[in-house]
Chains A and B, each alone.
Chain A
Amino acid sequence: MENAAYIGLSRQMTLRRELDIVANNIANADTTGFKVEQLLLGAEVGERARNDAVRPGVSFVLDRGVGRDYGQGPLNQTGRPLDFGIEGEGVFFEIETDQGPAYTRDGAFTLDPEGRLVTEAGHRVQGQGGEIILDPALGQPAVAADGAISQNGLPVGQLKLVRFDALAALSKGGDGLYRNASNAAAMDATDARVRQGMLEGSNVNPILEITNLIEISRAYERITRMIENTNDLSRRAVERLGRTS
């Protein structure tokens, strides 16, 4: 009987979650290599009452998952020789962490005291065939579009670029790192290009996110009013029917 209130509640719960996701998108509007996220909603059709053949079943709102838009972010020039941006959707740098391989679009790398190419957090960047070691005495490294690194004209390694068949199976661990949650192995990405001295910005569209924010806020108010109206309705019904004279 209280179906209308429960349906409203199911929408309100998903709206709260949507707000959390929009808040995270806006907070990361300036995060290197961030990919915008969106809550995917679906209708969960409820079983209709057995003794009520006329009324159709009701549909509740259910969040099915979080979709991530792996679209290309803008490449911003930084002028730092160890900043790398990837041009190519769904392609990642492979890095080695204590918990196994991780993948990232954040190419702000640096060197450790031994000359290894590492991320800002100190994880080793993987090349084709292990880590990449640079010799600072040989001068600035030059990186070709296919990820081949050379110093003074001599090849010193090649950045490992990978892609996945099922991008939805990538799990995010924070710090801009993705982990492979499926059994499918990463494949070499040969069509992607690396841009030296550039970093990929976040692909969050601020205008869209602010619009989402307004929409969420208004929808929440609307649903609240709907729940209130439903309550009023049943209260009035009880009052009217309860009148004896």
Chain B
Amino acid sequence: MRALRTAASGMAAQQLNVEVISNNIANMNTVGFKRQRAEFQDLLYQNVERMGAQSSSQGTVVPTGIQIGAGVKAGSVYRITEQGTPSQTGNRYDMAIDGRGYFQVNLPSGETAFTRAGNFAVNGEGQLVTDDGYAVNPAITIPQDAVDVSISKSGQVQVITQGSTEPSVVGQLELATFFNEAGLEAVGDNLLMETAASGPATVGTPGAAGFGQILQGYTEASNVDAVSEISALIVAQRAYEMNSKVISTADDMLSVAAQVKS
């Protein structure tokens, strides 16, 4: 009985849906998190009677045919890179990107990762690092005697040192953009890696055409909408239940068939 397997594929798909939704809800307060969405596609169809097949030697053809689908599968789980709300933190090393682009982070392995989470800090040497201690690329070092740090919208980092009234430039932040942001691979810790699907990174100055601006003292909140996630969860649960109903109906019918006396 095909219906059993078809309904099982439906239950598996809804289970994946719930997993994606629960990950979104779990990351509701994760800085720079982008919500994900599972998209489903129908499985292949079996042609019991092909449409357009000849139904007689007189050249008449079957107008509709009989095609029976085999269920559903997950087409893709993609990230929705909608802008999250910038939320004020007051921390002078916190940065939110307003618009397109990612900060570049040097991993201990020597690779470059990309992130929207701009909750940075300085380490013992005064270098700008992520909260895991990975250096931000290009490297920016804040002198020890800096009294105030200001980061412009175009990513220029200026400090006012002790005994000086003139700000001095100590570095310039850069952002990376991609042809296909959805193709970036998430590796955890708010970090994303470049893949063949995303295309190579294009590095540029914040505020330039095609690049977002930097907001100092803000972090980008996740773009998860609690209400829509909860309603998606309800829909997924009901869909799961309905698929289980199909399984029990198919089972009932099989048991009825098995009990026919001869």
Contact = CB atoms under 8 A, between A and B. Distances in A.
Nearest to B7: A23
Given A210-B242, A221-B256, A171 B249 contact: no
A30 B6 contact: no
B64 A65 contact: yes
B126 interface: no
A174 B45 contact: yes
B249 A110 contact: no
Interface residues of A, number: 68
A22 interface: yes
Given A111-B179, A138-B210, A28 B52 contact: no
B52 A175 contact: no
Given A30-B17, A113-B196, A136-B179, A108 B76 contact: yes
Interface stretch (A12-20, A47-55, A84-92, A187-195): A12-20
Given A173-B44, A175-B41, A26 B242 contact: yes
Contact of B245 (A113, A121, A137, A213): A213
Contacts of A75: none
Given A137-B209, A206-B238, A28 B42 contact: yes
B6 A31 contact: no
Contacts of B182: 110-111
Interface string A216-233: 110011001001100100
A138 B208 CA distance: 11
Contacts of A16: 1, 3, 253
A121 B197 CA distance: 12
A111 B68 CA distance: 32
Interface stretch (B8-16, B134-142, B144-152, B159-167): B8-16
B67 A30 contact: no
B1 A176 contact: no
B210 A19 contact: no
A26 B7 contact: yes
Interface stretch (A32-40, A95-103, A157-165): A32-40
A110 B48 CA distance: 34
A78 interface: yes
Contact of A65 (B17, B63, B75, B239): B63
A168 B49 CA distance: 13
Contact of A79 (B9, B80, B210): B80
Contacts of B242: 26, 29, 206, 209-210
Contact of B246 (A12, A22, A121, A182): A22
Interface string B1-36: 111101101100110010000000000000000000
A113 B10 contact: no
Contact of A137 (B43, B72, B210): B210
Nearest to B197: A113
A209 to B, nearest CB: 7
B178 A174 contact: no
Contact of B249 (A19, A28, A120): A19
Given A168-B63, A181-B52, A231-B262, 17 more contacts: A19-B249, A23-B246, A24-B42, A26-B7, A28-B40, A28-B71, A34-B42, A64-B64, A65-B66, A80-B78, A111-B180, A113-B196, A115-B199, A210-B242, A213-B245, A220-B256, A221-B256
What are the 7 closest A-B residue pairs judged by CB atoms, nearest first?
A: A27-B10, A65-B64, A113-B199, A174-B44, A23-B3, A137-B210, A24-B69
21 contacts: A16-B253, A20-B2, A20-B3, A20-B6, A23-B3, A23-B250, A24-B42, A27-B7, A27-B71, A29-B10, A30-B236, A65-B49, A80-B81, A111-B180, A115-B179, A138-B210, A169-B51, A173-B44, A176-B42, A213-B249, A214-B249
Interface of A: 12, 15-17, 19-24, 26-32, 34, 37, 39-40, 63-67, 78-80, 106, 108, 110-115, 120-121, 136-139, 166, 168-169, 171-176, 181-182, 199, 206, 209-210, 213-214, 216-217, 220-221, 224, 227-228, 231
